[in-house]
């Protein structure tokens, strides 16, 4: 059986917070205003994984009202989500994701994001695609108020 899932996430950017995407620390003067580390790429992939397995969503698995997840490393959350879908007998075939960010320039970080996500999900970097685009200066991403990410995941089991 093969199953497809999609995920989406957005967090606001604020001064004085680290910017982490796909588990990679990005040099920038703003970061995510979030309960966890706010890694929208990891969060979109988590929702795509859980969606493909029809096992709910990130908010059900890791409630942002739970102090256990304050400042949480989102790759650890992704690993837990993988464990959930593995319990149901699924393995990841591939991931394709898009980050929407006006700034900073993320292209230099994409290979490292793929490597980190692949390692976390026990697959090869070639099974992971992370792309980035601007929002043409419009909307919250375009105005630099937020960064968002979308992901599609294919599972087989």
Number of residues that bind Mg ion (CB under 5 A): 2
Nearer to Mg ion, 33 or 84 (CB): 33
Q: Which of 23, 43, 78, 82 binds Mg ion (CB under 5 A)?
A: 43
What distance in Å separates the CA atoms of residue 67 and residue 51, rounded to the nearest whole number?
25
Q: Is 9 in the site for Mg ion (CB under 5 A)?
A: yes
Does the footprint of Mg ion cover residue 141 (CB under 5 A)?
A: no
Provide, rounded to whole angstroms, the least separation between the CB of residue 72 and Mg ion.
10
Please report whether residue 30 would count as binding Mg ion according to CB under 5 A: no
Q: How distant, in Å, are the alpha carbons of 24, 76, 121 from that of 148? A: 15, 20, 21
Identify the residue whose tokens are 């009202």: 65
CB of 134 to Mg ion, least distance (A): 21
Tell me whether the omega of the peptide bond preceding residue 104 falls within 30 degrees of 0, making it cis. Answer: yes
**String of DSSP letters for 30-65:** EEE-SSS---HHHHHHHHHHHHHTT---HHHHS-TT
Write out the residues near Mg ion by the rule CB under 5 A. Answer: 9, 43
């Amino acid at each position: 059986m093969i199953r497809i899932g999609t995920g989406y996430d957005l967090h606001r950017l604020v001064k004085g917070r680290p910017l982490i995407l796909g588990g990679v620390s990005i040099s920038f003067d703003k970061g995510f205003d979030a309960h966890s580390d706010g890694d929208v790429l990891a969060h979109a992939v988590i929702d795509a994984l859980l969606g493909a397995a029809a096992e709910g969503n990130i908010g059900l698995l890791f409630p942002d009202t739970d102090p256990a997840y304050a400042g949480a490393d989102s790759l650890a959350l992704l690993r837990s989500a993988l464990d959930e879908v593995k319990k149901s007998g699924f393995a990841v075939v591939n991931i394709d994701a898009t980050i929407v960010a006006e700034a900073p320039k993320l292209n230099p970080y994409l290979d490292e994001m793929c490597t980190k996500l692949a390692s976390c999900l026990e697959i090869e970097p070639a099974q992971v695609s992370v792309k980035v685009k601007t929002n043409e200066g419009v909307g919250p991403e375009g105005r630099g108020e937020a960064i968002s990410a979308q992901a599609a995941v294919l599972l087989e089991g």
